Structure 1
Amino acid sequence: MFFRTLYSKLLFIILFISICSLGVLGFISYDDQKEILANQIDRNLHFASESVSGEINEFIYERLADIDLLRRNTVITNFHGNSEEVKKEFYSFIESHDKYFYGSILLNKKGIVIADMGDGMLGANLSTRSWVDKANENGIYFSDIYLSPVINRPLVVLAARVEKSDGVHLGTVSTSIDLDAFWDLIDRFSKQSSNANSHDLAFLMNGKGEIIAHPERSYIFNVNFFNYYGVEKEKLKDALQNKEILLSEDESYSFSVSKIQHVNGFNNDWYVVISSPTNKMYEPLRQLLVKYLFIFIIVLLTSIILSIWLTKYLTKPIYELVERVSIFGEGKTPQNKINNTYKEVIQLNASFDLMMEQIINREHEYRKAATILETTNYGVISISSTNKKITTFNSYCEDLFSISKDQVVGKSIENIKSINIEIFRFISVIDFDSFNSNEIKHKKIEFSLDLDSKLYTFSGTISSIPFSKEDLSNNDLLVMFTDITEQKILEKEIFHSEKLNAIGQMAAGIAHEIRNPLTTIKGFLELENDNNSSAGVYKPLLINEIERINSILNSMLSISKPKVSNKVVKTNINQLLDETILLFVNVLKNKDITVIKKFSKIPEFYVNDDYLRQVFFNMFQNANEAMESGGSLTIKTSFEDDQFCISISDTGIGMEQHVVNQLATPFFTTKEQGNGLGLMISYRIIQDLGGEIKVQSEKNKGTTFNIYIPTKADN
């Protein structure tokens, strides 16, 4: 339930983003600081080991310089057997370096002690001691720290080869280093660390891992570094090479190791080790973590408070808008306005106000349309295309079928059959299945139906009304109809009357046309009665007049039953126009009418040329009669899109549009002596050829007839 509200979801999202952002930023920041601090700790530890190592290196350099100075003493190099003089020099040397040395002896080249500060070693043979040979070989020798079996304590021997001024080997001088002074170097670092509240410890070990200097003296020669701390020798090499921190086996101690440099006379593998408890060493890291956690908690609490405030600020106007929608949904008009909020909600509220206004207006329009629907003189029935249920049935339909719409609306067509068979028969007459409901269409319908023992004729439309432009399949089929039974009866009476009138006009036209040739025939027959000898002269005229009567009767037959003859010949329209216009040359010339020909190169085709000649003749005849005061007759031909175009233009008196609209009507004419048949027959001929005639005319400017004949007229 908590996550079903916008407030809870928004609060969760803001908190989630805030916590994740803080966590990621905190982790990255802490990790960077941790790495910096860890590197600093490691550098400090390395620096400490290198510092102690440097002090020890300096100590070794100084002691090697001291023994070198001693071996060059002239009393020693010029020794002639007087050991007392040598002893004095030894005391003088020790007194000047009493902090670092105690005891000195001089050996001859056979290894026999020939001078001793305490005389306890005088005459002793030390030739078997390793430091004697190494000193003689190298000139100077700084021994490793070892546990002396004589004095039972750690000892370091410094020995040097003694030569006379002429370079002759005299013997070996030796002295012992006071390890307390040496160990003070190690102890000094540990004391400084202790004073600084640090737990770092410095000690010295040899290559075997034996501790040879340590603040805890009990560790010396009693503890092996590798064994005691569980550190492998290979790791020591890697740590020295890569300057890394070593860890004890249980990781409780961290070590920084520096090797003492080898110099002439000192070749021992000594290592300065700085030891630090790991937990104490990385205590600053833990403090850093605590500090970051504290900051994170403070920022998190602040983020939560701000998130709650921000969520309320964001959702409050939305809840107010939801309340307005709920009020409007109950049919009421919300009065409260949402102000002083952020731009998006103001825009959303404005859109809602606009939508509310549109819905109110649409509802008003719907009520108005419903009122019109109920009061109109048209019947209205709508049927759902998906479930075939009736969705609209207005009062006109109620009166027609004598049934209430409450009994009809919501019922399927099949159910209507048992409720009112006449409605079912009415709907069945309308072919809904042939109406494509997947497209928006509008189709006129007209049908007759016997309802309640009376034949009705209905006229109307059927339309597809989709619920949306996107989904055309979900729609209603709307039928609007009206009873035109009385109108049809009236139309039949009018048609019958017009047909009688047309027959009368046709009879008058036939009588008018036939009267002239009959008058001529009558006159010639009367002459024949008066003078039989001249009868043969008038026979051709009589025959022509009879043929004229026959032609008029054929024209009448063309009106009632037009048909293009099957007699076709290969015809060139340009040539046919030339032949036809020749019949009017004298007439046109007398009227000062100029003929302009603009013939294009067009193909020949098979057609009845007599009928085309009759069409052109009628067109030229009309153009001639339209130009009583001269003018120009322009004839154009062209061929494109598989059809011929013949354009005949005159500059005559022209026609008004209502006259143009009736040119194809039988017996319609504006001429005193015309019968209105010529153009009508021309229209019929062109239509039978599959073509059409288009007319453009302007009063007092002229008329153009455009005749279009398709090449399919070839057949």
Structure 2
Amino acid sequence: MNLKKTEVTENELDFKQIVDHSLNAKIITDGTNVIYINQACLNMLQVGKQAFIQNGFLHYFHPACQEKCNQRIQRVLAGRQAELAEQKIVRTDGEVLDVEVMCAPFYNNGHTLVQIVVREITERKKNERLLLQSEKLSLIGEVAAGIVHEIRNPLTTIKGFVQILQNKNAENGKYLDIMKSEVERIEKIANDLLELSKPQAEIFKQENVVDIFKDVLFMWETEIFKHHITVNYHISDDDIPIFCERTQITQTFINLIKNAIEACADDGEITAEISKNDQEAIIKIDDNGAGIPKAFLEKLGTAFQTSKANGTGLGLAVTYNIIKNHNGKIIVESEEGSGTTFIIRLPLYQQGAEKSS
């Protein structure tokens, strides 16, 4: 079968079609009236076109964001830049969505209009909050474990001497019984605190690690674009099933992609590869950043051990803990000046894993 080659120049392309079918919400306004709105925006807000035009675009921004949004539009109309900003919009059903909003000039027939591009980031913000909470819990857990360790040693000594005195001094037995009871109560509190610091049971189920990674990569798309980072992404299979707690694995990928972005200078490069063998899913994240000093490599995964000037090491501590709880492994290869590679190995999903869990 012969296929006829079609040559199309840029000038012949129907760009309105491209905008109409964009996944990002797009609005064009003169500052007061809505000139254009695409279907993605109507779908995001769950509103009809006529209702949107009648209400005006500011109506759908959260009251706390309306003044800021209007100021940004006026800046663009005045010929100045309006940087990417995080704001909130309100759907017709009352649900509040986290969004990124970009305002840029749109020139048409000698008139300056404003193009508003809106991208929903509700899921990303949710994951960021989960990550922050996880880091806080990790810190509390490590502090609690340290405190318990310091408390239990002297408690054991005191308890031992109280038992000796009980055997030798029946006269003061009542007071010694109270002392022993109180020591045991402190001991129980310490043990409970130690138990609290351990990872809690989560709901594990079959998930496609490729889908999870793609979702996280999409979350970081704006930061990647902002820093002109090139991302090379390779997968050996569209469906690589693992048995996991999805939120925790999502947090792991968030941490590692975030670290890779921060490690790369502007115009850097990140390579991500996902593959599998007979038993494992293998996720490899490589950056061409500054690398990790040898002095810190052995300490990776320990809270407060980091080579970053403003880092805490908690993100990687959480990551190592999550992978350990998933019976996985983390391998780190790094050379100063050449970059860092994180390799995660997670067991593949096995039929009947839910029953055994």
TM over 0.5: no
Query: Looking at both structures, which has the greater relative contact order when contacts are Cα pairs under 8 Å and sequence separation is at least 6?
Result: 2
TM-score bucket (shorter structure): 0.3 to 0.5
- What is the TM-score of this pair, normalised by structure 1? 0.23
- What is the TM-score of this pair, normalised by structure 2? 0.44
Structure richer in helix, relative to its length: 1
Which is greater in Rg? Answer: 1
